[in-house]
Amino acid sequence: MTEIRLYNSRTRRKETFEPLDPANVRMYVCGPTVYDRAHLGNARPVVTFDVLFRLLRHVYGEGAVTYVRNFTDVDDKINAAAQARRAAGDPRSLEDLIRERTDETIGWYHADMDALGALRPSHEPRATEWIGAMIAMIEGLIAKGHAYAAEGHVLFRVRSYAAYGALSGRSVDDMIAGARVEVAPFKEDPMDFVLWKPSDDELPGWDSPWGRGRPGWHIECSAMAHELLGASFDIHGGGIDLQFPHHENEIAQSCCAHPEGGFARVWMHNEMLQVEGKKMSKSLGNFFTVRDLLDGNWSGGWKVPGEVIRFVFLSTHYRSPMDWTVEKAENAKDTLRNWFRLSEPENPDGYGLHCVLPHLADDLNTAEAIGALHALAANGQGAALRYALNLLGLDPSSDWWREGRDERTSDGLSIGVSWSGVRPPEQIELASALAFQWANLRKRKEYAAADDLRASAGFSGLELRATKERDAHAEIKDHFDPAKLEALK
């Protein structure tokens, strides 16, 4: 069996992965808070742990891996989005508006992550479906002296867990000195964190022994992980931004609630993402969602196929900061187009697996795996390349990269049209008509009108040019806008 080695954030070293039960390998990854579209940074852990999920399924068997990724559907940002809809005149109850918003956002998330080639996890629990388990865990923590009720809140006693700070490598006193912590008169200690908080009549809430309220963020993952994976499981993953306080708090409350278990044995964290060398932010104008890329609404101006986004992610090791650039995306598109074209054989060759598997088994070294793919392509090993691409979740059977051509002669003018992916016949006809019109203008030496048509077509996503073989060639770009092309008829 392939030996897998993973970097454990808790021990700060690479370790041989030995599952608690090889017949049931268990992994939990923190999922999104579903109030809006997933931005590009949200997608990096999805792709990272999708590769790990695929690797574990390959090594231990598809039915031997349980992957849980949650949806946080109770949150102040979700409440604010629903309240804004009601303020805008929607007469429905806040509960109905929240459910509509979270259902809508989960639908968006699934569509966007599907486009990146990510497999659906085994379980995708919604926090609101596990409130009872959260209340039960909180009651147990109070009974053991690890939590206390105060003014409708329940708080975790951080100093009751001696190992607090081991994951992030900080002491409690250092954290108090260097961090901004919420100071409330009902807290015994500034570092104590909320397990339960009260809800007024305007906010979602559930009945509990401490009054009507809702759970704190950290208890959600602990309760759902315990219910679906048990007191001990193999891997817990997420972005490095969650290491503290979220994951630190998960460990403390879970190990105190279930001292018979060890919670997660291996902790894995992906590094953060930048855009063109800078932190992604709306104020810098470099913030965009996955859907913005897929639809072409970003600074690059073209529709980025999901496989291209995935390839850019995989080109950097998950524990290294990643920089998204227009140049990387364009190079990735060209590389994948060439690889997909080369990997056309229908009978994949297992040799490709042997080229990439050792790299993936070495702490998900996808950058080295991609280097192996370059070698396969350079040697013309298309069948092996196809096998390796599939293991990385890059699907050559998609259509965006396929190229089509149309050539015809009209009134003595030779016209060509080229495109990628699948295009409706009417769009090809329109492109051909515009190419013919442009060639005719040039033939009649109406160069100003020809230049205007070429510029307008280019703005629409259609490049017009003359070649040695053709009087006019129209190339339909990835970011073409059919509505604008229609207006140029």
Query: By residue range, what is the domain housing residue 383?
Result: 276-400
Indicate the angle between helix axes 351-361 and 40-60, nearest 10 degrees. 120
User: Are 14 and 128 in a shared domain?
Assistant: yes
- Whether residue 478 is contained in a domain is answered as yes
Domain closes at, from 367, 385, 400: 400
Q: How many CB atoms lie within 10 A of CB 3?
A: 11
Residues 233 and 301 in one domain: no
Low-confidence ranges of the chain (pLDDT < 50): 178
**255 labelled binding-site residue:** no
Q: Is 256 annotated as a binding residue?
A: no
Same domain for 306 and 266? no
Amino acid identity of residue 416, one-letter, is: G
- Any domain includes 153: no
pLDDT at 176: 62
- My answer on whether 461 and 474 are in the same domain is yes
Which of 441, 397, 424 has its CA nearest to residue 480? 424
Per the DSSP assignment, residues forming a β-bridge with 26 are 66
Q: What is the pLDDT of residue 439?
A: 95
Looking at the fold, whether 388 and 416 belong to one and the same domain comes out as no
Q: Where are the beta strands (DSSP E) in 318-439?
A: 322-324, 403-410, 413-420
pLDDT per position as a tens digit, 56-90: 999 999 999 999 999 999 998 999 888 888 889 99
**C-beta of residue 312 within 8 angstroms of C-beta of residue 369:** no
Q: C-alpha distances in angstroms, 242 versus 224, 329, 408?
A: 17, 27, 58
Q: Which of 356, 375, 400 is the last residue of a domain?
A: 400
Q: Is residue 197 part of a domain?
A: no
Residue 264: CA count within 13 A, CB half-sphere: 29
Residues 109 and 35 in one domain: yes
Q: Which of 18, 29, 70, 21 is nearest to 52 (CA)?
A: 29
Average pLDDT value for the chain: 92
Residues 37 and 107 in one domain: yes
What's the pLDDT score for residue 486?
60
Question: DSSP 3-state assignment of 381?
Answer: coil
Distance of CA 85 to the CA centre of its chain: 27
Nearest to 334 by CA among 417, 422, 400, 431: 400
In this structure, the answer to whether residues 293 and 382 fall within a common structural domain is: yes
The reported pLDDT for the residue numbered 1 is 85
Instruction: Tell whether 384 is covered by a domain.
Output: yes
Establish if 177 belongs to a structural domain. Answer: no
- Are the C-beta atoms of 152 and 197 separated by less than 8 Å? yes
Three-state SS string across 135-170, please?
HHHHHHHHHCCCEEEECCEEEECHHHCCCCCCCCCC
- 282 known member of a binding site: yes
Nearest to residue 342, comparing CAs of 421, 420, 401? 401
Token pair of 406, please? 């149309």
**Residues in Cβ contact with 93 at an 8 Å cutoff, skipping those fewer than 6 apart:** none
Q: State residue 397's pLDDT score.
A: 83
- CA-atom Rg of the chain in angstroms: 27
State yes or no: 489 annotated in a binding site.
no
Q: Does 288 lie in the same domain as 250?
A: no
Q: Are residues 286 and 248 part of one domain?
A: no
Tell whether 317 is covered by a domain. yes
pLDDT value at residue 301: 84
Beta-bridge partners for 71:
126
Q: How many residues does the chain have?
A: 489
Is 203 inside a domain boundary? no
Q: Let me know whether 261 and 282 are in one domain.
A: no
Q: Are residues 120 and 26 in the same domain?
A: yes
Among residues 353, 382, 400, the one where a domain terminates is 400
pTM for the whole structure:
0.86
Could you tell me if residue 297 is inside a domain? yes
In degrees rounded to 5, what are phi and psi of residue 475?
-105, 120
Q: How many domains does the chain have?
A: 3
Give the residue from 265, 209, 204, 269 showing the smallest Cα distance to 239. Answer: 269
